[in-house]
Structure 1
Amino acid sequence: MKRRTMFVLLALMLSVSTLLSACASSTTPEANKPTETQKPNNETKTDPPTETAVKQEFRFNIGTEPPSLDPGLAQDVTSSTILSATFEGLTSTDKDSKVIPGVAEKWDISPDGKKYTFTLRQNAKWSNGDPVTAHDFEYAWKRVLDPTLPQTSPYNYQLYYIKNGEAYFTKKITDPNQIGVKATSDYTLEVELEDPTPYFLDLTAFATYFPIHKSAKNNPAWANEANTLISNGPFKVSSWAHSSQIEFVPNEHYHKRDEIKLTKVTAVMIEDTNAILNMYETNALDYIGPPTNGGIPSEQIPILQQTKKDEIAIKPLAASYYYLFNNKQKPFDNKKIRKALALSINRQLITEKITLSGQKPAFGIVPPGINIVNDEYRNQVDGNFFKEDVAEAQKLLAEGLKESGLDKMPEFTLIYNTNDLHKKVGQAVADMWKQNLNIDVKLQNIEWTVFLDQRSALDYEVARAGWNPDYNDPVTFLDLYTTGSGNNDIGFSNKKYDDLVKAAKKEVDLVKRRDLLASAEKILIEEEMAILPIYYNATAQLLKPNIKNIYVDPLANFHFARGYVE
């Protein structure tokens, strides 16, 4: 590791100290102050610590401002990391990503698998003390499906499993009472599905299925500031200095408050990986790792494996890293050109020389670690949908350019969000395209929220992407690119693909269902190369030895809610 001078290190430590002290509270506009009917989030009352008590505080980095802390609108890993600690769904998940009770203490499933009856625990409360009721869930789910809202949810398709969910959002029906979710009492929620869905309980642990407090009805900006953000999870947001840091304290009304040991959690927003590592080494941070993928400078990982053996951990993630093609824009609307770009890069070189955290070359989109038919999907379905071949890539490029009426591949821009690793991978891929295909590529670094907006608007040519699963099933990767999906940010539309994914969602025979999904993946990657797979992800993380029960689960979700300091 390259060491800075003592002067630079001292300056950094002073700046960090200033950051953490100056941003202790957020300034809230007058319009966002709580109304009489909306109780504010008061600070948790705790006994003063004794002189010998261990300070139960945890500090980590989320890299950037979360685009949205509204569960109905959130779509990114930064936002979901915060939401998983501040909200709770009907179900939750354990260390092994297995479903456990959340707000629902029990549930019954009809013999045909299409009707779920959830019984909510009566001691579940919002952070302002209001009871969490079945009506809060019904309101939240119907809100996600409401086509008249100014901003629609990118994840509305995740509620299409519910009877008439899709029909309501697409305005085929207009009566929200026809949607298959109903609070039959304050603590009973009945849900009717279109078809049996084996992973529906996993879905109810996902952010889009979280409840929303009734105060949101009168304040569209309720999730934008700390003192109007009412949540129901283990923690609540106590202060929010935008683009700087977010602080959390325990929700004193949480139904399992006795399990929450940390008294304060601070999430800072720093994108420079060298600064992040320096903060960890000077004890200004307790953890580096997901959700800021690439949070440790990759070139430092081999050194840290020697110098911090007890603090560093490298583990695979059930996640994929890839590039998006704007399938609607020339010349990327030509699949031969897309294939040429995919076949001409050396993934092994990228994982061995650049990422250095155990990533594996990817030739499909569904990663190892995703299960189906009681085993990993990748153990059952060959994921080698194409082979790297520079000569074939050159041939396909020439054919694709001719079909597109072009003599030469025009220079294009590859966009990525701010992160040293994304930049390094982008530089390597651009060099390979130049060397192997004589293509000139410009790299453009864009701030996270703007980056997501540009992708959603198809305002790009080629863009970096990655996907962590929402639940443990291959469809969480494959339904992204069905026609009309709120997360289909490549403009891809293929009826056969849509039909296969739709059929898989209805199929109750697990083997037939697996084969349908495998056929869909083949169309997406082998036949169309609608995206460009690069690697199956892994992570390197640093955690102080005295911090316990902080972990990344098998589905790449970061959990700190039940951590503690030893």
Structure 2
Amino acid sequence: MKFKIILFLFFLIHMSSYAIINSNNLNNNKSELNIGFFYSLKIGDPQKCQIIICSLINRQIFEGLVTLNGAGKIVPGAAEKWNLSSDGKTYTFYLRKNMKWSDGSDLTAHDFVYSIQRIFSANVFHRNTYLSEFIENGKEILLGKKPASSLGVKAINNNILEIYLTKPTPILLESLSEPVTFPVQKKNVEKYGEKFILPQNIVSNGSYVLKKFKNGKKITLIKNKYYWNESKNIINKVNFYYFSDFHKLYKLYINGKIDIISDAKIEGFKEVINIHSSEIIKVPILGGYFYYINTSLAPFNNKKLRQALSIAIDREELNRTVYKNLQIPLYHFLPNGLKNDFPAYPYWYHWTREKQIEEAKKLYLEAGFSKETPLKIKVSYYKSELDRNVANYISNCWRNILGVQTEFEFKNWFKIIENPKTENFQVIKIETVANINDIYDFFNNHTSSNKLNISNYENPKYDYVVSEIMNEIDPVKRKELNHQASLILMEDLPIIPIFSLVNHYLVKPYVYDFKVNRIESFLVSEIKLKNN
């Protein structure tokens, strides 16, 4: 699970599983692309990175065994093909011949062995990876019972790699499409340590190389001349820019200095909506806007209270007044569009708003509170105008319906990400986006042993069902397990779902084949430009 820093507002023109502008009549006269963002730019070790922008950059400069393309499909990457043994426990990957690192040295299966083993070292282990759950000896290595060299990953020769599983799993290929599994060059890491990722030091294997990084405000990538498919890359250079002011970014866009505005937030900007409606792309993503409740603290360990707080929120009205109907109200725990999802809706979902309010009041009283003896609650969120507007609306619902007294505080987002379970909070706003298009990606975060279980939720029955989801390969049985897990979460309600997220992009007419998948990533190597 990756974390988001902001949420964006935008006008919508169409809905699809991914966003795409079809190409025709292209030429290569324009070969530089400029993309604007509304959040600070980051670079990072692919085996440690947990920020969306960092992951996006790593997908351009590194390449794994398999690739998640802009259409959301798993396609060959560094491996040109693979097969699975009859027992479903051994994957064999056949790497492309004569592959190179960006310094011109040979890239082999041994580099992938080193990099996947590196994931399991104590100072690197990525909390988002699921590989420890099903690669042979993964758990034992993390517990210090076996050496990293015993991990079930083996280079048969320079071009053939095998991965051995403890049990068959339906999510290995999706997991291998994550940047956490991308190869890093051993001698480069050992020479520079944590600084190996810097432009002056980095050696990578993706379609682009990192040329410049400037204070979180600009990243420049150039084509990797040693990339196996370099001749197919139309874009020679791409610049990523950070702007906190939409007006400045929009001015650059209309003057042709910016080609794409990513995750644009133009709510209230009628000029943009009216003039550029044909250039606006809407992408529903596998992400959610949630209020996490610290279930380890009284009185929030009372699920009647948690239910009352959730029911009191009028999501439809919140979407209309704050988001101008640009997001999707969410009543369960799975964002729209996940594969094999079978969500459980709350028992009150089809009730009238009046009946919902009566139920919220009843549960609030049963939890020991009333307007005479109100709950006092502190809501934490990242410092943004949008989050403040949402928090104000929700606190008004709670006050007007239940009598809750709400206090607000700002939280440092990056501190939360680094130490999510050590933060002291009562209720905290969190946005998450899937690493892979699979239900397990969301359910696993709420298991009792998961370090990303921010709400400190514990339910042994839930843990068991989620473990079964990971290993069940029958899609019908897996879908039923998904529903069971959803029912348990809906009953216990450790988090309050609010929205299933929708992203929006402003794209110049001369930009073609810009595809953004449901986990909010795209490949510059797929983009084409027409002379403008």
1:496 corresponds to which residue?
A: 461
2:85 corresponds to which residue?
A: 110
1:30 corresponds to which residue?
A: none
Asked if the contact 1:458–1:491 (Cα under 8 Å) also holds between the matched residues in 2, the reply is: no
Asked if the contact 2:216–2:242 (Cα under 8 Å) also holds between the matched residues in 1, the reply is: yes
1:94 aligns with 2:69: yes
1:439 aligns with 2:404: yes
1:554 aligns with 2:522: no
1:546: how far off?
A: 1.0
2:18 corresponds to which residue?
A: none
Asked if the contact 2:28–2:529 (Cα under 8 Å) also holds between the matched residues in 1, the reply is: no
Task: Provide TM-score, normalisation by structure 2.
Answer: 0.87
Q: Which whole-Å deviations, capped at 9, do the CAs of 1:252-299 have from their partners, x for residues lacking one?
A: 111110121112211122234444334433434222233xxxx32322
Which amino acid letter does the alignment assign opposite residue 297 of structure 1? Answer: I
2:203 corresponds to which residue?
A: 230
Report the Cα distance in structure 2 between the residues aligned to 1:70 and 1:479, rounded to whole angstroms: 23
1:496: how far off?
A: 0.9
1:410 aligns with 2:376: yes
Asked if the contact 2:90–2:164 (Cα under 8 Å) also holds between the matched residues in 1, the reply is: yes
Asked if the contact 1:434–1:440 (Cα under 8 Å) also holds between the matched residues in 2, the reply is: yes
Report the Cα distance in structure 2 between the residues aligned to 1:274 and 1:425, rounded to whole angstroms: 23
The SS at the match of 1:497 is helix
- Residue 299 (structure 1) aligned to one of 268, 271, 274: 268
1:309-348 matches, within 5 Å, as 309-348=277-316
1:240: how far off?
A: 0.6
The SS at the match of 1:228 is coil
Report the Cα distance in structure 1 between the residues aligned to 2:121 and 2:347, rounded to whole angstroms: 38
- Residue 399 (structure 1) aligned to one of 358, 366, 379: 366
Report the Cα distance in structure 2 between the residues aligned to 1:385 and 1:299, rounded to whole angstroms: 35
1:169 aligns with 2:142: yes
The SS at the match of 1:96 is coil
The SS at the match of 1:333 is coil
1:384: how far off?
A: 4.4
Query: Which stretch shifts more, 264-273 or 134-143?
Result: 264-273
Report the Cα distance in structure 2 between the residues aligned to 1:80 and 1:223, rounded to whole angstroms: 16
Which amino acid letter does the alignment assign opposite residue 159 of structure 1? Answer: S
Asked if the contact 2:266–2:272 (Cα under 8 Å) also holds between the matched residues in 1, the reply is: no
1:183 corresponds to which residue?
A: 155
1:24-423 matches, within 5 Å, as 54-66=29-41, 69-147=44-122, 149=123, 152-171=125-144, 173-214=145-186, 215-290=188-263, 295-300=264-269, 303-356=271-324, 358-372=326-340, 377-378=341-342, 381-384=343-346, 386-387=348-349, 389-401=356-368, 407-416=373-382, 418-423=383-388
1:503-522 matches, within 5 Å, as 503-522=468-487
Report the Cα distance in structure 1 between the residues aligned to 2:393 and 2:253, rounded to whole angstroms: 28
Which amino acid letter does the alignment assign opposite residue 379 of structure 2? Answer: T
The SS at the match of 2:200 is helix
Question: Using a 3 Å threshold, how does the CA distance of structure 1 residues 468 and 280 change in structure 2: closer, same or farther?
Answer: same
1:346: how far off?
A: 0.9
Question: Using a 3 Å threshold, how does the CA distance of structure 1 residues 56 and 421 change in structure 2: closer, same or farther?
Answer: farther
Report the Cα distance in structure 1 between the residues aligned to 2:529 and 2:384, rounded to whole angstroms: 29
Report the Cα distance in structure 2 between the residues aligned to 1:62 and 1:331, rounded to whole angstroms: 40
2:5 corresponds to which residue?
A: none
1:455 corresponds to which residue?
A: 420
Asked if the contact 1:280–1:287 (Cα under 8 Å) also holds between the matched residues in 2, the reply is: yes
Q: Which whole-Å deviations, capped at 9, do the CAs of 1:101-142 have from their partners, x for residues lacking one?
A: 000011121011110011111232222222222122112222
Report the Cα distance in structure 2 between the residues aligned to 1:348 and 1:420, rounded to whole angstroms: 20
The SS at the match of 1:226 is coil
Ranges in structure 1 where 5+ consecutive residues have no aligned partner: 1-51
* Structure ranking higher on relative contact order (CA contacts 8 Å, 6+ apart): 2
1:520-535 matches, within 5 Å, as 520-524=485-489, 526-535=490-499
1:430: how far off?
A: 2.5
The SS at the match of 2:170 is coil
1:475 corresponds to which residue?
A: 440
Q: How many residues align?
A: 497
Asked if the contact 1:73–1:155 (Cα under 8 Å) also holds between the matched residues in 2, the reply is: no
1:382: how far off?
A: 4.5
Query: Which stretch shifts more, 530-539 or 65-74?
Result: 65-74
1:544 corresponds to which residue?
A: 508
Which amino acid letter does the alignment assign opposite residue 501 of structure 2? Answer: N
The SS at the match of 1:542 is strand
Which amino acid letter does the alignment assign opposite residue 399 of structure 1? Answer: E
Q: Which whole-Å deviations, capped at 9, do the CAs of 1:2-61 have from their partners, x for residues lacking one?
A: xxxxxxxxxxxxxxxxxxxxxxxxxxxxxxxxxxxxxxxxxxxxxxxxxx9733221223
Which amino acid letter does the alignment assign opposite residue 363 of structure 2? Answer: L
Question: Using a 3 Å threshold, how does the CA distance of structure 1 residues 402 and 384 change in structure 2: closer, same or farther?
Answer: closer
Which amino acid letter does the alignment assign opposite residue 414 of structure 1? Answer: S
Question: Using a 3 Å threshold, how does the CA distance of structure 1 residues 383 and 222 change in structure 2: closer, same or farther?
Answer: farther
Asked if the contact 1:96–1:553 (Cα under 8 Å) also holds between the matched residues in 2, the reply is: yes
The SS at the match of 1:317 is strand
Report the Cα distance in structure 2 between the residues aligned to 1:283 and 1:435, rounded to whole angstroms: 48
Question: Using a 3 Å threshold, how does the CA distance of structure 1 residues 333 and 60 change in structure 2: closer, same or farther?
Answer: farther
Report the Cα distance in structure 2 between the residues aligned to 1:284 and 1:424, rounded to whole angstroms: 32
1:28 corresponds to which residue?
A: none
1:548: how far off?
A: 1.6
Asked if the contact 1:274–1:297 (Cα under 8 Å) also holds between the matched residues in 2, the reply is: no
Report the Cα distance in structure 1 between the residues aligned to 2:453 and 2:410, rounded to whole angstroms: 22
1:444: how far off?
A: 3.8
1:447: how far off?
A: 4.9
Report the Cα distance in structure 2 between the residues aligned to 1:451 and 1:269, rounded to whole angstroms: 22
Report the Cα distance in structure 2 between the residues aligned to 1:448 and 1:229, rounded to whole angstroms: 27
Task: Provide TM-score, normalisation by structure 1.
Answer: 0.82
Q: Give % identity.
A: 26
Which amino acid letter does the alignment assign opposite residue 544 of structure 1? Answer: K
Report the Cα distance in structure 1 between the residues aligned to 2:314 and 2:36, rounded to whole angstroms: 31
The SS at the match of 1:551 is coil
Asked if the contact 2:71–2:516 (Cα under 8 Å) also holds between the matched residues in 1, the reply is: no
Query: Which stretch shifts more, 530-539 or 128-137?
Result: 128-137
The SS at the match of 2:103 is coil
Query: Which stretch shifts more, 487-496 or 349-358?
Result: 349-358
Asked if the contact 1:157–1:166 (Cα under 8 Å) also holds between the matched residues in 2, the reply is: no
Query: Which stretch shifts more, 496-505 or 467-476?
Result: 467-476
